[in-house]
Structure 1
């Protein structure tokens, strides 16, 4: 999954970790667990997911000070889709403890069915493990309780990779490709005035409406600028004529 998601993606242009993934992560946050985490002072997140996927969510929405996760291999500024060798627990703990002074009152939250990181948990005063049954009884975190407002731009292209949604996507690919070819051929062969109503029947009406509105708005702005410029020139000429000696 990591290879399919990251292979060939430029590191600097990776935005999904800060725009799309937080939406889905926040939908899985339990109200009860959120209150416990936010009541803590300094927070350190430990995840088996690639760090680049969870770093933005944990830092921006949960106020995490440090994030520990798997690193992805990068070649010439591009992800290759492969994981770096997993760091030893002691090395991760030494790195974090060097950046942040560990207090004596350290509390750990984790899932019961996940592999426990003994090196981290051995320094915790208390450990709270949550089972899947307990998580199902939790309430979903309301949007008004989000620490930072969630701005999500396009929900059509981003969806949860559930089995049913993934199956629907792969079933739609051949139909979508055929529809793309039909639209392209009609757009190239038919006159512009004739292609607009025909393509609108295939779901392109909104796009053409937006393009027309953008064109009209840009034209109106240009005309307004030209009229303003001529008005300024006319005013300057009148002022200069009035100042001429009789």
Structure 2
């Protein structure tokens, strides 16, 4: 028997022994649980003995605060959806399905919080690459954390000087968000074992009562934290009650954090799921997947085979609603086009903001004719299945300008000056190149709504973007054509390319109710994927 054959049984034996010990410890805790529950503060007792977080005065200065994230800073007391996000986005659907199948057992354990957490950690992290977890923690989880923030708890947190979070959850899942978005100074959480760049699924150091006690003593010494936030649905927070000068109770049904009060604007995020994957929602997802794939094929065939007018009606019957506005304005100005100063019989340049790879197709559908689109770093698969002509840009400014002028001489052209998609209600900085090569420009405002999947990605397989969008049970595409840019407000009229681009960006933002930013494609990919977003051929 070789060395590898000898090592493998020993690894299996070690894992089995580890879980036997865990089960034995859990059984001992279960045995004494009735006594523990009878001598500790339950949720109702905590709520009745201490004031609500809404009654905490907003004090500035050097106050210190200690709290957990589960059920305190976040409105949700269950962390299962966030483990599901890691399993689905960082792992794969099979890992997510296994986690979903374990939920009945996790639910049955009830108050055995530590054992439930270890099971979720094992399924979610066993064999997961550390770099995949880093990507999920940076690009996926913050969006769902922000949407789940408790407004009143955050206001108390933001009013304090030193902020400490002690949680039994894996530190890698929460530390980045807590430090970068909420300004937390210290984060104490469970540490996971890592071997060769992969998680083993085991906890190398949990956060027990003794660990919490030691952490508080190391961080604050003999002094006590000024404020402690505890959850009304977590009786295990009684350690904080004895260590803090003031205690306030956070309700799991606290006020939702409005977007305008986010600690940092949510402009970029990644991941395929457009909903918080609770157990019931995740079950619906897996039941929908085979139907969704069939529906995506049907919708794609509708767009390829049917005439434009018939395709709009057929798409609506499948749940994909296309709403077009401003076409009458375009037709009127097109009839009067001869009154404009044109050179070389140039076509119309449609400048639209970028929501998904289907934007040029939807604009062409609204116009009732195929229109050429210029693209950046589009995958070969997307180019092959596109029902409109696509021309790849080289990112060489002079060469791309010549290409766009040639295309305009042949007919109309669709350009997305942002250079990349943006999911949130913001517009990225517009490139000025399109404004410098065209003098007949029509701004086009595009917006989408999805129910299950996002049709864009920065870290996944981009050729699947249209597939995921078409898999949504219900989706909406809105295309609004704005009035043509007057000649005096284009480069032909003496304006600079940047002035024209900024003016069009502002017009589109006002029409959509979005905000304007100076962020670029490079900023997006560096933030989400750690690269510049260029597809290698």
Q: Whole-Å Cα distance in 2 between the matches of residues 53 and 143 of structure 1?
A: 22
Which residue matches 2:283? 167
The counterpart of 1:19, out of the listed 139, 148, 169, is 139
Which residue matches 1:130? 250
Deviation at 1:177, TM superposition (A): 5.8
Conserved? CA contact 2:169–2:189, under 8 Å: yes
Indicate the SS of the match to 1:71. Answer: strand
User: Do the aligned partners of residues 102 and 11 (structure 1) sit closer, same or farther apart at CA in structure 2, a change above 3 Å counting?
Assistant: farther
Q: Whole-Å Cα distance in 1 between the matches of residues 229 and 395 of structure 2?
A: 58
- CA displacement, residues 181-210 of structure 1 (integer Å, 9 cap, x when unaligned): 99xxx9xxxxxxxxx935xx8999829969
Deviation at 1:96, TM superposition (A): 5.1
User: Do the aligned partners of residues 124 and 28 (structure 1) sit closer, same or farther apart at CA in structure 2, a change above 3 Å counting?
Assistant: same
The counterpart of 2:266, out of the listed 130, 143, 150, is 150
- CA displacement, residues 10-68 of structure 1 (integer Å, 9 cap, x when unaligned): 11332212222122222222222221111111111122322211111211121111112
User: Do the aligned partners of residues 157 and 104 (structure 1) sit closer, same or farther apart at CA in structure 2, a change above 3 Å counting?
Assistant: closer
Q: Whole-Å Cα distance in 1 between the matches of residues 167 and 211 of structure 2?
A: 15
The counterpart of 1:35, out of the listed 114, 136, 155, is 155
Which residue matches 1:236? none
Q: What TM-score does the superposition give when structure 1 sets the normalisation length?
A: 0.67
Which residue matches 1:241? none
Conserved? CA contact 1:110–1:130, under 8 Å: yes
Number of corresponding residues = 214
Q: What TM-score does the superposition give when structure 2 sets the normalisation length?
A: 0.34
The counterpart of 1:46, out of the listed 146, 162, 166, is 166
User: Do the aligned partners of residues 100 and 222 (structure 1) sit closer, same or farther apart at CA in structure 2, a change above 3 Å counting?
Assistant: farther
Which residue matches 1:216? 392
User: Do the aligned partners of residues 164 and 104 (structure 1) sit closer, same or farther apart at CA in structure 2, a change above 3 Å counting?
Assistant: closer
User: Do the aligned partners of residues 213 and 226 (structure 1) sit closer, same or farther apart at CA in structure 2, a change above 3 Å counting?
Assistant: closer
Which residue matches 1:192? none
Which residue matches 1:7? 126
Query: Structure 2, unaligned stretches of length 5 or more?
Result: 1-119, 306-310, 321-355, 363-371, 376-390, 404-537
Q: Whole-Å Cα distance in 2 between the matches of residues 112 and 93 of structure 1?
A: 21
Which residue matches 1:235? none
Larger mean Cα displacement after TM superposition, 100-109 or 209-218? 209-218
Conserved? CA contact 2:167–2:207, under 8 Å: no
Query: Structure 1, unaligned stretches of length 5 or more?
Result: 187-195, 228-246
Larger mean Cα displacement after TM superposition, 112-121 or 9-18? 112-121
Show the 5 A alignment for 1:47-196: 47-95=167-215, 97-99=217-219, 103-132=223-252, 136=253, 138-154=254-270, 156-175=272-291
Indicate the SS of the match to 2:304. Answer: helix
Indicate the SS of the match to 1:213. Answer: strand
- CA displacement, residues 193-246 of structure 1 (integer Å, 9 cap, x when unaligned): xxx935xx899982996995223323874735999xxxxxxxxxxxxxxxxxxx
